[in-house]
Amino acid sequence: MMITDAHRVILRINSAFTETTGYHPDDILGQTTSLLKSGRHDRAFFTAMQDSILRDGAWRGELWNRRKNGELYPAWMSISGVRDRHGTITHYVSSHSDITLRKAAEEEISHLAFFDPLTELPNRRLLMERLRRALASSLRNTGEGALMFIDLDNFKLLNDTLGHDKGDLLLQHVAQRLLGCVRDSDTVARIGGDEFIVLLEQLSEQATTAALQTEAIGEKILAALNVPYDLAGQVHYSTPSIGITLFGEHKSNETELLKRADLAMYQAKAAGRNTLRFFDPKIQELVTAHSRLETELRQGLLQEEFVLYYQAQVDSARRFIGAEVLVRWQHPRRGIVPPAEFIPLAEATGLIRPLGQWVLDTACRQLVVWAGQPALAALTIAVNVSASQIQRPDFVPQVLTVIALTGANPRLLKLEITESMLLTDVEDIILKMTALQAHGISFSLDDFGTGYSSLSYLKRLPLDQLKIDRSFVRDVLTDPNDAAIVRTILALGHSLGLSVIAEGVETETQCAFLAGLECHAYQGFLFSRPIPLEEFESLVAHQHEGQRLAG
């Protein structure tokens, strides 16, 4: 117990107070109760406490206090105000009990109610609660989610041959590996036996993209659970069967979702185990095609099935000044595959890095070949750089190594970056661009105006060129907004001392409009489609010969 005056100066304590807090009368008498504050409660908490005492004459509740040794502990406290005959509070009398053991017991009971004692993962009860919340959140935010039902293949055989202690050890290892495969926002649960559930949240709104995101995590889990286990000195191999369902239209029925994931898991078992299957056949077909395409893409890189197409870039007199190289896939069965079908996959799988390196190397080698041909020697080549390429720490030395090994003139190489890259680490990108620009390499900002344009970084980027996106050029004659954007980009480029090139120019009227705004460089079907190297060289040679004869 403790008695204070109206200003909360401590006047008396009893022996139980000393036993609980460690404070003797000589330590604390004359001090204020702030000496006991834990720092866990804000001003609003104590204001509400005082209001209760003034209104009701007392306050009761839980709060955290601080012992003399600095240790914090939970207490149940009762505080009463003592009033004089005028109704003014003159003293406070409080009693409190240390409830550390009770709180620990409550937490232990809660933990047992919601967590699996073997793996420390959420159990079925907590999983269903989180699934209900995830479904509600998905309805509000229109984002997708997914449920993965994971069953260990032939787990009973392990228990029967090596014993349940080894089985328990395997389950603990699996739990840790699963946690290492998912994001902090996801849930890994054990719902019984050798059955685990992974709840994925905050996936793409697009079902196709969400399915591919889920498949990527599923493949990661397959790989992780296929690594041999050390079960107390005993090497053991285990594989999982994984059933997957997206939330889809079932965002209000968690039981149905769990049933669908379970059924998909049995489909994985029927397919030979150690694989994953989606409940929706259409989604499964999509994922299977995606997986097949990824395998073919890897083989295509190894077997050199890719080729560069060249799209002309011309000046205001329509003289060729360079070309943008665009990669095409010469598929052995499907013929020429356009980049829209494989570039997103290459980016998602990390294959964009070796593919981008090949494009850069091929383009530089072509510059060397052109250097010996008068009609082509002055042409620049523009190469698109992916975000994953430029974010690599060794991006600058890789580019410089290609320049050194091929002997290409760096002043004829132009690297095109997009605005979306600048969302990651602008400072790092600026340093890399500056380092390469010092060697003569130029930079063009592609798709300018379509995303995250910011004048604050634009004036700091070591750019040489802005590229007006085709979406603005397409409707420049019919949409006043697009016309205004084009005018602004050209004015901005001129004021910053940057050249400007318009892409997607398809008609003479578009070209005339742009020329009237002092746009001096163009790219588009009006001048040339992306064409194979031989056709491009022939086109340039024909123009060069015509100019020679005219001169």
Structural domains in the chain plus CATH codes: 2-104 (3.30.450.20), 117-293 (3.30.70.270), 304-550 (3.20.20.450)
Instruction: Compute the distance between CA of residue 542 and CA of residue 455 in angstroms, rounded to an integer.
Output: 42
Mean pLDDT is lowest, of 1-10, 192-201, 290-299, 479-488, for: 290-299
> Residue 450 has what pLDDT?
67
> Residue 451 has what pLDDT?
59
- Tens-digit pLDDT profile for residues 229-276: 999 888 999 999 999 998 876 555 788 888 888 988 988 888 889 999
- Tens-digit pLDDT profile for residues 40-82: 898 899 999 999 998 988 999 999 999 999 999 899 999 999 9
Mean pLDDT is lowest, of 230-244, 302-316, 318-332, 420-434, for: 420-434
> Residue 534 has what pLDDT?
95
| Long-range contacts of 174-182, Cβ-Cβ distance < 8 Å, separation of 24 or more | 174/119, 174/225, 174/238, 175/119, 175/120, 175/121, 177/221, 177/224, 177/225, 177/227, 178/150, 178/221, 178/224, 178/225, 179/121, 180/224, 181/217, 181/220, 181/221, 181/224, 182/217
Give the percent of the chain with pLDDT over 90.
57
- Tens-digit pLDDT profile for residues 73-132: 899 999 999 999 888 999 999 998 888 888 777 777 777 778 888 999 999 989 999 998
Opening angle at CA 137, ends 136 and 141, nearest 5: 125
Mean pLDDT is lowest, of 28-42, 135-149, 169-183, 506-520, for: 135-149
> Residue 532 has what pLDDT?
95
> Residue 114 has what pLDDT?
84
Q: Is 348 exposed, middle or buried (0-12, 13-18, 19+ CB in 10 A)?
A: middle
> Residue 163 has what pLDDT?
87
Question: Taking the alpha carbons of 475, 478, 481, 484 in that order, is the dihedral positive or negative?
Answer: positive
- Whether the per-residue pLDDT at 401 is higher than 90: the answer is yes
Of 252 and 36, the structure prediction assigns the larger pLDDT to 36
> Residue 270 has what pLDDT?
81
Answer for the pair 499, 522: CB distance below 8 angstroms, yes or no: no
Answer for the pair 370, 379: CB distance below 8 angstroms, yes or no: yes
Q: Determine the average pLDDT of the residues in 165-171.
A: 92
Q: Is 272 exposed, middle or buried (0-12, 13-18, 19+ CB in 10 A)?
A: exposed
**Number of residues written out for the chain:** 551
> Residue 387 has what pLDDT?
85
Place of tokens 């980049």: 339
Answer for the pair 148, 261: CB distance below 8 angstroms, yes or no: yes
Question: What band does 380 get if pLDDT is binned at 50, 70 and 90?
Answer: very high
**Angle formed by the axes of helices 281-302 and 207-226, nearest 10°:** 70
What mean pLDDT value characterizes the chain? 89
- Whether the per-residue pLDDT at 281 is higher than 90: the answer is no
> Residue 251 has what pLDDT?
59
> Residue 351 has what pLDDT?
87
Instruction: Compute the distance between CA of residue 215 and CA of residue 209 in angstroms, rounded to an integer.
Output: 10
Instruction: Compute the distance between CA of residue 352 and CA of residue 346 in angstroms, rounded to an integer.
Output: 5
Sheet with 144-152, strands from edge to edge, namely 187-192, 195-203, 144-152, 240-246, 276-278
Question: What band does 456 get if pLDDT is binned at 50, 70 and 90?
Answer: low
Neighbours of 256 (CB within 10 A): 11
> Residue 161 has what pLDDT?
85
Highest mean pLDDT among 104-113, 189-198, 293-302: 189-198
- Whether the per-residue pLDDT at 158 is higher than 90: the answer is no
